[in-house]
Amino acid sequence: MNAPIPHLAPAAAPAADRSFLQDVLGGLRAPRKQLPAKYFYDRRGSELFEAITRLPEYYPTRTELAILDRYGPEIAARLPPGSGLVEFGSGSTAKVRRLLPHLTDLAAYVPVDVSEEFLRSEAEELGRDFPRLRVEPVAADFTKPFALPEDLAGAPKAGFFPGSTLGNFEPEAAAGLLGSFARTLGHGATLIVGIDLVKDKAVLDAAYNDAAEVTAAFNLNLLTRINRELGADFDLDGFSHHAFFDEDLARIEMHLVSRRSQLVTVAGVPFHFASGETIHTENSYKYTVPGFRALARGAGWEHACVWTDPDGLFSVHALTA
Ligand code: AVJ
């Protein structure tokens, strides 16, 4: 048995909460404090992210949607006929809705997401809007192995991983994830992936430092979530949002900067923050088209096709296993 954790009833905490606690304690104990970006997306965090996607400075979502709209028929034609379409980390179904009108012979659409409640409600709504589509949601963390619905065993598979979510992973982990998608989907599968592209630093910095400070609220909401779910006492005024593009590593880094020397307690465990010390909360890697192609190849995927917008801001790739 684990030692009892103050402020929490371990026996009552579901497995997901326990790994949240372990990940937070582990991240704050590291010499350079960090927290996994996947925990941004509680209800409020998901709402704030939706608001980010509508900001004038945040180009990725609207650019990717424009690519899907413009090349939808071509993208859809890359999927094996009669395939089961698996979306990794589906969240909102806004993106797949752009492809579904061109995918009339799908065996099923399988949205995979950890947020079970949101997953079910989105799946139901999609089923109402596409009555001939079989929707088979799977509540799972796509970074860990999971099983596809058994009735799809005989169908060819396609994967959909939009939004440049892959950018949240270090290149080595990103390659590992692409490899695990290949194993989940099987031989002959197609994977459609959205990848944000390297561009002018000023454009990237602005996208993560919006004037309305929605990204700052999104970043700080992680502390609010930790306070509420893990019995912590982060002072929200004691931390500020910091995001910048590192040109050498080709990634945006987001941090929460301690504005003073302070002590914070998480589930009874004290953590000291020096003034100016940061918690690294997110990486968002950007790729060139050849750079992404090389990453995909190294993970066992053949690069079949790429679509971009006229300004070269964002890319959608078709890969085959
Ligand atoms: C959802 C990971 C693609 O990295 O651009 C947006 C998350 N973070 N603004 C991104 C995010 C800050 C987003 N991804």
Ligand 1 atom having least distance to the Cα of 219: 12
Q: Judge if the beta carbon of residue 60 lies within 6 A of ligand 1.
A: yes
CB burial readout 145-162, b (16+ within 10 A) else e = eeebbeebeebbbbbbbb
The pLDDT score that the predictor gives to residue 212 is 98
* Model confidence at 11: pLDDT above 50: no
Query: Could you tell me the distance, in angstroms and rounded to a whole number, from the CA of residue 250 to the centre of ligand 1?
Result: 14
| Residues pairing with 278 in the sheet | 257
**Which pLDDT band holds residue 13 (cuts at 50, 70, 90)?**
low
For residue 223, the surrounding DSSP H or E stretch is: helix 214-230
Query: Could you tell me the distance, in angstroms and rounded to a whole number, from the CA of residue 56 to the centre of ligand 1?
Result: 15
- Mean pLDDT throughout 99-127? 92
* Model confidence at 227: pLDDT above 70: yes
- Mean pLDDT throughout 241-268? 98
| Residues pairing with 159 in the sheet | 86, 191
Query: Could you tell me the distance, in angstroms and rounded to a whole number, from the CA of residue 37 to the centre of ligand 1?
Result: 9
The pLDDT score that the predictor gives to residue 253 is 98
Q: Judge if the beta carbon of residue 89 lies within 6 A of ligand 1.
A: no
Q: Judge if the beta carbon of residue 168 lies within 6 A of ligand 1.
A: yes
User: What gap in Å lies between CA 102 and CA 242, rounded to an integer?
Assistant: 41
Task: Please report where in the chains the tokens 């996607």 appear, as a residue.
Answer: 53
Ligand 1 atom having least distance to the Cα of 282: 8
Dump pLDDT digits (tens) for 154-177: 999 999 999 999 999 999 999 999
Q: Judge if the beta carbon of residue 107 lies within 6 A of ligand 1.
A: no
Taking Cα atoms as reference points, which of 270, 207, 208, 264 lies closest to residue 237?
A: 264
Rg (CA), the chain: 20
**Which pLDDT band holds residue 257 (cuts at 50, 70, 90)?**
very high
Closest residue by Cα to atom 2, ligand 1, is: 165
* Model confidence at 2: pLDDT above 70: no
ipTM of the complex in this document: 0.99
Residue 223, burial from CB neighbour count under 10 angstroms (0-12, 13-18, 19+): buried
* Model confidence at 7: pLDDT above 80: no
Residue 202, burial from CB neighbour count under 10 angstroms (0-12, 13-18, 19+): exposed
Ligand 1 atom having least distance to the Cα of 284: 4
User: What gap in Å lies between CA 167 and CA 288, rounded to an integer?
Assistant: 12
Dump pLDDT digits (tens) for 272-306: 999 999 999 999 999 999 999 999 999 999 999 99
- Give the 3-state secondary structure of residue 261: coil
End-to-end CA distance of the chain: 43
The pLDDT score that the predictor gives to residue 117 is 84
User: What gap in Å lies between CA 269 and CA 279, rounded to an integer?
Assistant: 16
CA torsion angle 58 59 60 63 (round to 10): 150
